[in-house]
Amino acid sequence: MNIRCNFCGHSFNLSREFITAAVADAQAQKQKSVAVECVNCRKLVKVSARQMQRFVPRTAASEDEG
Ligand SMILES: [Zn+2]
């Protein structure tokens, strides 16, 4: 998932592992967004948790079986 920093305009990539953990965290804390540190200016960029969720593999998402 590609993120663009609102502060410095730098774009960087988030790993699927990071996104999976971040979305799980946001859901646990009922947060609508996840703060990601920009690799360039180190400021916190807010990313919508719902947007992130689309990059989480199905198997990792909480799916009820049966
Ligand atoms: Zn930045």
Domain definitions of the chain by residue range: 2-53
Provide, rounded to the nearest whole percent, the portion of the chain with pLDDT above 90: 82
Buried b / exposed e across 16-49, counting CB within 10 Å, b at 16+?
eeebbebbbebeeeeeeebebebeeeeeebebeb
16 Cα–ligand 1 center, Å:
20
Q: How far is the CA of 27 from the centre of ligand 1 (A)?
A: 25
Residue 6, pLDDT above cutoff 60? yes
The predicted model gives 21-49 an average pLDDT of 95
- CA of 11 from ligand 1 middle (Å) equals 8
Give per-residue pLDDT as tens, 7-33: 999 999 999 999 999 999 999 999 999
Q: Average pLDDT in the 21-47 region? A: 95
Q: Tell if the pTM clears 0.85, that is, is over it.
A: no
